[in-house]
Amino acid sequence: MVEDDGSPQGELGNEHVEEMEPSEKLTDEDEIDRIDIELDRIRERRTNPESSFLVNTIVPRTVDDYTLVFGLISGLVFFGLVSVASSGLVMGDSIILDEALSGTVLDPSECVDRRGEVWVETWVEGDDLLIRTNNIPESASSAILVLVWNETVISSQENSESNAEMYWLIGGLGDLDSELEKEDLVDGIYNVRIEVFHSETDSEDWSDLSEESISEKLEDKSLLTTTKDLEIELHTTESSFFGSGETHRKMEKFDEDPRTCFTLQKMGAWGWGLMAAEWVGGRETAMLTGGSAEVPPWYMAMVSLGMSIFFLCVQYPLMHRLYHRETDDLLSSEQMTRLIQRTVESASKRLHIRPDLKSMKVQDRAISVDVFLPYENTKRTIISPIEIKGSLIKDILSEFRIFGEMRPLQIKTVRTDIYRKSETPNTNQNLFPEDWGEIELTEDYSDFFSGIGQFGNLEEAFHESMSRWFKKHQVVDYGSAIMADEEAVFVRVIYRPETRFAYFLFKPTYQHLQGDLRRHLKSDLDDLLDERVLVVSARNEKSTLADRAVAGRVEQGSQELTGEAMVAKRGGIPGALLQNPFMGDILSSVEYVAHKNRPRIDRYGFWGLIVFVWIPFMASGVLVGAMLGLVARMRFERVLAACFIGGTAASITWAYTARGIIEVMEKYHAEALIPFVILLAIFFTMLKIRDNKRHRREELFRDSMAFFAGATESQ
């Protein structure tokens, strides 16, 4: 049974979805006060944490700190060893590891040391026999003689060139490559002899000579260096795929020679190859690829396990910091609704809007928090609806960051007074003269002309003050205006930074500059304001990184699934590493898979998590298992242990069964399917990842669209 430390309804991974209307559930003043006290306590705990590893201190303090340090050290050692081995700088030609472990329980097969001797390597590729020589000096003249006999024709007489069905001779310098194509032979069983000649005293390039000239040189039997005998079989089979009835020819090779021991440099090169294969197509793809090339199973297991340890011990602690919250810090649906409600209340005072909190709706579900907010403009509202929505999103995400809420936020704001007639015209509404009522005529115009004079002075002082403000902040005026009535003075400014590469280098946000502008104008225009309220709006014409940095990750809907979901930005190393677009996309998919598989872990707990990581489900592994443990709120140590045990079991299982799978396929003449199986594994892995991303996007935006549509209709 999975351990539950009191996760409330609405926490990540919970199937519970609740829509809370403040008008129904948060009307009692005592209840609101109680929730506010709880939220203030959580805020106090989270804004005054103890020293955090790699943020305020470099001294590890908790288990996840030590795990992260171990992961970084193990990754440095692992990738460093593979790099040194593949470079060949240290003992590159040594076979000490492979030779010592071959023939043991770790590697039952024997390998042969062929260093310093000329030997022939053969393999089947594309149903053709490929031949390659090894260890011939680059400056030595060399030649390959290939003789082929058909066993169905050969009698008891000895093999010789005279009764060989075919033979050919190629020459050159150093190691050579040759190829026996299946089109050159009819179906049957053939004996193949490969003879290699080379002369270290002759540096003539034999590829420039005719076959007769090379044959004359090869009459010197002392130039015969090595021979290799093997058997091949060619047969025509009928394809059974989709009943096509098409036929194709297959070549099989039967070679009793033991495999050649891997040098350290070759192992290093295969280390990078196995890691790339596992990253692209999963552990199964890497093991089948290595098994087909006769890579030692213990080495395949070590590479896979090294990757698992590094990613698990580095990314899991970072994920734990990003997602994990103590039980007392988890927000219930009531607390979440109240948090959003009071954030909107605070922002509305600054934005000069009137939110309809009684009609506000919040959908608190497992994969997102959806907010529907109707509001009205006031006489002092001078910013556009888009800017109002952006400011609300920024404020709510800032609160999410403090409270550690990592679910995406989707918000829909609706201005409800847009078609209403206003009793008093204001600067942000269409003016309809017929709505103003009857205009009284008067013979006393002194107040009118006095007001014009005062506004002229105010406007002149405003422009002088603004010129100093633009120069102070190195921004250019892209449109500024001032309006006034008896109650307020409205200032709207659009600016553009003069800084080059402003997107990256211009640090102040529009909110910071807006506050500074309010203080600046209040100081300069204090005598002219005459106790009227100063309302200021500032907007950056050029989007900058500082203005957009409030969201750690943004997901856009597409086609019929419209919407925009934003995750609160987290600082420090975890935020920098895990909230970039690449890792954010991976994490969101991992989170979705973990969420879908949570019922299994709720039922089977620790052992279920081990099996989940061990058994090769598509798109499963140690990272998905770690996220699943976070979703199920298992203790850090148990998740780490379960993922480590399951990952180790999976690496060993696949490493020691991959070669057996290939041998079974060869036994039943299906080895030609090995590349197809590898490509199929890669295809299904990528298809599964793509489907997970698509299903998550559909679930994320489809349900939110339905919620917003229902909320709008109820208005």
Q: Which of 362, 377, 361, 372 is nearest to 416 (CA)?
A: 377
Q: Which of 605, 622, 603 is nearest to 613 (CA)?
A: 622
Distance CA 167, CA 162 (A): 10
Q: How far is CA 675 from CA 515, 560, 681, in A?
A: 64, 39, 10
**pTM score > 0.95 for this model?**
no
Written as one letter, the residue type at 501 is F
Token pair 């069964």 in the structure block, residue: 657
- For position 355, what pLDDT does the model report? 93
Asked whether the domain spanning 444-548 has the same topology as the one spanning 114-260, the reply is: no
- For position 13, what pLDDT does the model report? 37
Class at the top of the CATH hierarchy for domain 444-548:
alpha beta
pLDDT tens for residues 80-114? 999 999 998 888 888 888 888 988 888 888 888 88
Within 8 A by CB and 6+ apart from 664, the residues are: none
pLDDT tens for residues 466-481? 889 988 888 888 888 8
> Which regions of 541-684 does DSSP assign to beta strands (E)?
551-558, 561-568
- The two counts, helices (H) then strands (E), for the chain are 20, 20
Greatest Cα pair distance in the chain? 137
Q: In the chain, what are the helix, strand and coil shares in percent, each to the nearest 5?
A: 50, 20, 30
Q: Provide mean pLDDT across the span 25-39.
A: 80
The CATH number that domain 114-260 falls under is: 2.60.40
pLDDT tens for residues 306-354? 998 998 998 888 888 777 777 777 888 899 999 999 999 999 988 889 9
pLDDT tens for residues 252-301? 787 777 888 888 998 999 999 989 888 877 777 788 788 877 888 899 99
Q: Provide mean pLDDT across the span 2-19.
A: 39
Contact 478, 539 (CB under 8 A): no
- For position 387, what pLDDT does the model report? 80
C-alpha angle 420-423-424 in degrees, rounded to nearest 5: 115
pLDDT tens for residues 583-615? 666 667 666 776 677 777 777 788 888 888 887
Q: Which of 317, 214, 263 is nearest to 99 (CA)?
A: 263
Distance CA 590, CA 235 (A): 46
Please state the domain extents for the chain. 114-260, 444-548
- DSSP states along 346-411: HHHHHHTEEE-TTT-EEEE-SS-EEEEEEEEE-TT--S-HHHHHHHHHHHHHHHHHHHT--S-EEE
Q: What are phi and psi of 675, to 5 degrees?
A: -60, -35
Distance CA 669, CA 653 (A): 24
- For position 444, what pLDDT does the model report? 46
Structure tokens, 74: 């193990």
Quote the percentage of the chain above a pLDDT of 70: 76
pLDDT tens for residues 369-426? 999 999 998 888 877 787 888 889 888 988 888 888 888 898 999 998 764 544 444 4
- DSSP states along 99-160: HHHBTBTTB-S-EE--TTS-EEEEEEETTEEEEEEES--TTSEEEEEEEEEETTT--SSPP-
Distance CA 696, CA 701 (A): 9
Distance CA 361, CA 562 (A): 19
